[in-house]
Structure 1
Amino acid sequence: MKIHISIFYKTNWGQNVCIKTSFCQKICLKTKDGLTWFADLDIIEKEFNYHYFVEENNATIHSEPSLCHSIELSSSNSHTTIQDEWFDATYSKVFSSSAFTKCFLPIVDEKKSSQHKIYVSALPPQAGKWALCSNIIDNWQKPILLKHIRACEWIFDVPSFVEQFEYKIVLVKKRHIIWEEGENRSFHINHNLSTIQHICPRLNYALWKGAGIVIPVFSLRSEQSWGVGDFGDLEKLVKWSAKCAIKLIQILPINDTDSTHTWRDSYPYSGISVFALHPLYTNCNGLGSPQLRHKFEHERKLLNKKKFMDYEASYNCKIRFLKELYKEERLNIIKSDSYQDFITRNAYWLHPYAAFKYLCNKYQSPHYDTWEKIWQNYDKEKFDEYTKDSPAVQDEITFYYFIQYILHQQLLQVKERAQQLHMVLKGDLPIGVSKYSVETWTNPTLFYTYSQAGAPPDAFAIKGQNWGFPTYNWPEMEKDQYEWWKKRLQHMNQYFDAFRIDHVLGFFRIWEIPYQQIEGILGYFRPACPYTVSEIKNFGFHFDPTCHTNATLYPTYVKQHPELIPYLTQIGQYYQLKEDVSTQRKVYENVKSETLRNELLNCVTEVLFIRDSQNANLYHPRIDGQKTMQFANLSQSQQEAYNQLYNIFFYYRHNDFWGKEAMKKLPAITQASRMLACAEDLGMIPDCVQPTLNELEILTLEIQRMPKQYGIPIANTQQYPYLSVCSIDTHDMAPLRLWWKENQTAAQYIWKSILKQDTQAPPQINPQIAKAIICDHLNSPSMLCIISMQDYLALFSKLKTISPEEEQINIPANPHHYWKYRMPINIEELENTPYYASIIASLILQSNR
């Protein structure tokens, strides 16, 4: 196929326009006037994918998105002429995600089409559809909708009987037509060759925006629930959400967390497997014989009457049901082709998962370091040898496979239903795994199990957070280009078209807490560049490792707390803790009195620096060190020196370093799937985070009560970036009703500054205020506005059947929180009362989402 390709691009002297093709070929174009660039090519492929870029001194100075032009070449002509326009698009990665191409704006196959075509490169508009008006089609009066064939590309097939015509690209919004600017375009046909134009609309327009809802699966409630939400309830939520004009459903992690068989396993971010789904979410309705379901019906109804999830009762009930179902259906299912295909495709994680579950039951503990030595490290061959002559063990292993197969089929069905309704299912990628999990058991070199991941202190947890997860050995993961992460993303992509990157800051640096400590306040960032002694002294600080890295108490404090004296050693003018209470873990082990223990835990934090665990000659300033007694007892000049080294360390020293760390990991991980990537980037945010996420086209998270602009109490939703997710709160925060009740000062600020009211803010939120706040978020520039179920329900006074306190899903300051919230209304009641959906839909549609 011979192609003559041309593009209009004004260059300066010394600049060249080139093409990069999908087969990595660089083609330099020619020009006679520095304006029109062209080339004559011989192409043997049926499809020609390419993009333009501009070079100067052998360096690229301007480029289109990679391979943004894709032309299907006609076989009926041996010659084709392509007339291109430069596509200067941003966000092309976002719009190429499966969230858009399979759900929000599904593409159609470019089947047999005319040999003459007009390709229109454009970003999806906020409202309306791309169309073409022409003098040959009802004399400009009838717009013809363009076919959406690729992420940012639409097509018009030119009728073969036409010789030439004029046209313009338009946006059609219901009965309203918005015309592109400039002169009419013209198309001339030579029937001896194929003619292709590739154009961009000359039109300023708002980009696509959508609305979503977020709720954990366990929080769903339907008439058929077993005391906990499941994948059947999730499918019902999909159907109801479509009536609300909601385009996305976000859920919390759904991986198996069951290790102790107690309510402590309700914590969804502490998975024992990053692949296995939680049996708790099995939709048991419709499975097995009527007799089997009838046997459990009374227990199911009792569980479903409960206000909150009873994790242990619901989990045990479902496991008993599944065991009986396994006896009924085992032979039929395991012989099926789909089951065998599932086992073959997922053997790499199914086998170790099932072995881990079996051994946990055998030893009544997930702590594999207490198992018999033969099993303390995963060995597939040894385990297969062990199970070979034991039908009972083989049967238990098959039972775990059986459950995962059912869950897999059910979740695929939910995703399929969502896609049919042009809706996205958004999953959650937890930053950590349980210390005692399949992952640490099978891949011990990928984790530092002697340290704990968490978060530094903030307004929600003044002592920081200790999640108890091991931290990652990133250098080891880098050796195979983060294959473990890639498999996670590829596995998730089966079920989701978008995902939330939990604590994306962990890919820049993680808050690491030494194992001997318990509270997050005694952590530090890893990786980091801790100070040497000489660097600390260069700030003018009189550094004394003996004093400043050990808990140091002063006589006035000890005098007020004489009960501490048995645990202290006097050193000159101050006191330090004795060895048996020198760390927080030792305090927990050696002090029985809760009151005394809490006092000593606070004493352990009385340090200005923390010694690095990997190099004892390096030191991290303790987070919030200015709040210690040690700092208060420094001279003013020493306080100023400490403040200077502290501010440089936490806000400047690591920016480039952490940005480079993230760019090693995030591109490899996010490119492993076609899901839309959304970050959770809250907390202590380094300056390098925003530009890194922008470059990778990862959506940020914007929360009004956690402004990212320094010095303002409440963020302005109208100033959010387009490439973001806008939410009122997260599962770690008080929902809207509770937040308003507990934060009257902030509520008054919103009442006056955002809602423009002059009176005193009401002490309790009402549906009118909830509506105003939700609308303020829906009208933000953010691509996605995702509101929690609790906040949507605040629109309806009838549905306030539980207290605001009971709506909060998690309290981050409490590491032993019971995750048990359930929505106070059945999905069927929402479905059968059209008023609820109509109110939500009207708010969303009025905001042009």
Structure 2
Amino acid sequence: MAKKFVLKANGIKPYHTGLAIPIFSLRSKKSFGIGQFSDLKILADFVYSSGMDVIQILPINDTTIFMDWRDSSPYRANSVFALHPIYLDFTDYLDKFKKSELKKILDEAKELNQLPQVDYERVSNFKWRLAKKVYSNYSKTIFENLSFKNFYQSRKFWIEPYACFCYFRDNYHTADFRLWKQNKYHEGLFEELSSDPEIFEDLKLHIMIQYLLHKQLKEAVDYCHKLGIAVKGDVSVGIDRKSVDAWTLPELFKLDKQAGAPPDIFSSSGQNWEYPTYNWKEMSKDGYSWWKARMRSMADYFDIYRLDHILGFFRIWENPENSVRALLGHFSPALAMTAEEIESYGIPLRYWGVERFIRPFIKDWVIDEIFGRDQRDEVIQRFLKYTGFGNYEFKEEFGDERKVKMAKGLEDYEREGLYRLHENVIFIPDHENPKLYHPRINLMDTISYREFGDAFKQQLEIIHNNYFYGRNYAYWQEKAEEILPVIKDASEMLACGEDLGMVPDNVPSVMWQLKILRLIIERMPTDSNFITDLKWTPYLSVVTTSSHDITPLSLWWQEDKNLIQRYYNEVMGLEGMAPKEANPSIIREILKRNLNTKAMLAIFPIQDWLDTQDDLRNPNASLTRINNPAYSYYYWRYRLHLDLEDLVDNQGFENFLSDFIKNSKRSTVGLTE
């Protein structure tokens, strides 16, 4: 058994280098159409020989909710404790299959493994067929094993509810527990279900699979540790509302709200992740025990973790239950405004009627601007009703964004236009107290705003900017300083935070005080500059060239020619026109400047490492993107186009990487300026 492996800041080796890749993206010669926990061992051999010492992965929890390709997102977990069955390697459990049966299995596995991308649904169905066979052949022996008994006893608190959840999900053909007869978990339910022998076998199947997953992941992590390689996991900011956690502990979540993010570079209309938001007040009553258990479970496997959207622990962007996009959300918690406060700016809120500010502002010219004059009469007839004085409101069947989304027979441009009408407001009523108000994010971009006189416009802009850039900062810091230390102190793992987006000024100082590493991406500046100046990268940070939410460097190079030209001339210091493609020398230069920062961790996506070589880069760069956050449901199916075994055998590439890293700041011993 490997020794306890802990990565510390300012340790004997102050700088670390690694690569990032989702488990599902790994490809080995023995894979079954998707990466598996056992593939981490082969990856570790490559990482070790290349002079790196960190492997970063995405969340690995079970995401089986829709039972189709939508479950491919690793951030939509049905349990914060259960591992995903799709990552189980069945190689060691095939010896009891008949020869004819085994041949069919291996043929199908080979076919799936040769696909350029993950076929999530086929792989999942294939693996569950194998899982049931393995259960029949091995369960009795496994359940008698002392290791299994210890595993089960220490995890009963989550594994029994998880097994019940899986049973009901599969039998009701939906994970939406509101549609189940047992729509709320209760103590003793596992025992009640177990009294039926047939159901008991189903429950034990899910428990056995979790044990085998744990065993394989632990073996892979221990192997990494023996090579001196740390493993970095990922803590998703939310849970799915159709999850075991929401089913068993609904009081810990605001199930009638939706978490997301305000408008950013990914989406001008913001992001609606559809996760429930946390009920922090309820969580605090038992000292955040759910969070502590979650982090201790993570520490079974990881040395480092990335806290997804750490801004959500200061405040979350909270959307109402009936919203589709995110422009009608507001920060929570946040100091909302009273009517009196708004009026103190000279805004006639109640004098003109609050509805003028909080309800969609719809007039003939507004309809014309969004849909075109030729469409006005049809839009009014189908979707609106006249309320007098030149104003319209929505018909009941289109009364919110969710209804618009569900309406049949609408063209995409019609839905888009109706969303814009719904979002044409100035203030958002507070979700808890509708007599308090929040400025609508980017209210200056609304058509409603343009109807006001210059004096009112100026005051509304002041209200907006004061609210979003200062008013809540101290309040949010107080909340973060209550929650984040609990999460951080729950384990010995090195804590990193993903602090991209609309970042309050005091977030970096809070993270520094708590020794939580920041995330630095050169092309995602947190100020008004067009690019992040890597010269100012702090030691307590992770620097990377790309992430799963943005394109690898080769695709980024083709997105904005004007920005790339400026980057080529001003940042890289090269003259003339920028090349149309990011050739290996350009990729190397970008990686080198990141390696030479003061950041404790430099972790780059494997796509960017491979693009340093002409003969190793994917000839079809479009297949290297992992996610596009502009879409609520995106198919996460990126896979390496090379077998890990071939990378391990490529001594020339490993030597290049080792020398490349040695000739950078990563090889220094001791901190230097």
Give the TM-score of the pair, scaled to structure 2. Answer: 0.94
| Per-residue deviation, 1:103 | 5.2
Give the 3 Å change call, closer, same or farther, for CA 818–825 of structure 1 in structure 2. same
Matched, 1:339 2:148: yes
Q: CA contact under 8 A between 2:27 and 2:640: conserved in structure 1? A: yes
The equivalent position to 2:16 in structure 1, one of 194, 210, 229, is 210
Q: How does 1:351-750 map to 2 (within 5 A)?
A: 351-372=160-181, 375-388=182-195, 390-543=196-349, 544-559=353-368, 560=373, 561-562=375-376, 563-566=378-381, 567-568=383-384, 569-590=386-407, 592-594=409-411, 595-708=413-526, 710-750=527-567
* Pairwise CA distance, 1:835: 1.4
Sort the Cα spacing of 1:262 and 1:571 in 2 relative to 1 into closer, same or farther, 3 A.
same
Structure 2 counterpart of 1:326: 135
Aligned partners of 2:450, 2:623: CA distance in 1, in Å? 40
Q: Does 1:786 align with 2:603?
A: yes
TM-superposed CA distance for 1:385, in Å, is: 2.2
Please tell me the root mean square deviation across aligned C-alpha atoms, in Å: 1.7
Distance 2:632 2:640 in 1: 23
Output the amino acid matched with 1:385: E
Equivalent residue for 2:643?
Answer: 826
What is the TM-score with the length of structure 1 in the denominator?
0.75
Secondary structure at 2:444's aligned position in 1? Answer: helix
Match for residue 753 of structure 1?
A: 570
Is the partner of 1:512 in helix, strand or coil?
strand
CA contact (8 A) 2:597 2:665 kept: no
Q: Deviations over 1:171-223 (max 9, x none)?
A: xxxxxxxxxxxxxxxxxxxxxxxxxxxxxxxxxxxxx1111111100001111
- Of the structure 1 ranges 571-580 and 274-283, higher mean CA displacement relative to structure 2 is found in 571-580
SS in 1 for 2:359: coil
Equivalent of 1:845, from 662, 666, 670? 662
Q: Could you list the per-position Cα deviations for residues 398-432 of structure 1 after superposition, in whole angstroms to 9, with x for gaps in the alignment?
A: 11111001000111111111111111101001111
Q: Which has the higher contact order (CA 8 A, sep 6+)?
A: 2
Higher mean C-alpha displacement, 563-572 vs 309-318: 563-572
Structure 1 residue 379, shift from structure 2 partner: 1.6
2:671 equivalent in structure 1: none
- Mapping 1:33-72, distance limit 5 Å: none
Find the aligned partners of 1:383 and 1:842 in 2 and give their Cα distance.
56
1:552 aligned counterpart, secondary structure:
coil
Counterpart check, 1:249 vs 2:45: no
Helix, strand or coil at the partner of 1:297: helix
Does the CA-based 8 Å contact 1:244-1:841 persist in structure 2? Answer: yes
CA contact (8 A) 1:542 1:638 kept: no
Cα distance in 1 for partners of 2:415, 2:518 equals: 40
Q: 1:387: how far off?
A: 2.4
What is the aligned counterpart of 2:25 among 216, 219, 222?
A: 219
Distance (whole Å) between structure 2 residues aligned to residue 433 and residue 324 of structure 1: 31
8 Å contact 2:193–2:200 — kept in the other structure?
Answer: no
Instruction: From the superposition, tell whether residues 580 and 798 of structure 1 become closer, same or farther in structure 2 (CA, over 3 Å).
Output: same
Q: What's the CA shift for 1:624? A: 1.2
- 1:703, 1:100 → 2: CA distance? 33
**Distance in 2 (alpha carbons) for counterparts of 1:606 and 1:592:** 24
Counterpart mapping for 1:8-23 below 5 A? none
Summarize the Cα distance change of 1:728–1:299 in structure 2 as closer, same or farther, 3 Å threshold.
same
Deviation at residue 294 of structure 1 after TM alignment: 4.0
Distance in structure 1 (CA, Å) of the matches to 2:406 and 2:649: 56
C-alpha contact 2:324 2:405 (8 A) present in aligned 1: no
CA distance in structure 2 between the partners assigned to 1:290 and 1:831 by the alignment? 31
In the alignment, is the contact (CA less than 8 A) between 2:60 and 2:84 conserved in 1? yes
Structure of greater Rg: 1
One-letter amino acid of the counterpart of residue 380, structure 2: I
State percent identity of aligned pairs: 36
- Report deviation, 1:537: 1.2
Structure 2 Cα separation of the partners of residues 103 and 527 of structure 1: 35
Deviations 1:270-324 (A, max 9, x none): 1000000000000112223164654410000000010100001111111111111
Deviation for aligned residue 1:803: 2.5
What's 2:613 paired with? Answer: 796
Equivalenced residue count is 650
Gaps of 5+ in 1: 1-98, 106-121, 127-207
Amino acid at match of 2:481: M
Alignment deviations for residues 71-120 of structure 1 (CA, whole Å, 9 cap, x no partner): xxxxxxxxxxxxxxxxxxxxxxxxxxxx9982558xxxxxxxxxxxxxxx
Q: How far apart, in 2, do the equivalents of 1:386 and 1:247 lie?
A: 46
Q: Are residues 1:809 and 2:626 paired?
A: yes
| Alpha-carbon distance, 1:483 to partner | 0.3
| Structure 1 residue 831, shift from structure 2 partner | 1.0
Counterpart CA distance in 2 for 1:436 and 1:290 is 37
Which residue is equivalent to 1:118? Answer: none
Distance 2:10 2:82 in 1: 37
> 1:169-180 counterparts in 2 under 5 A?
none
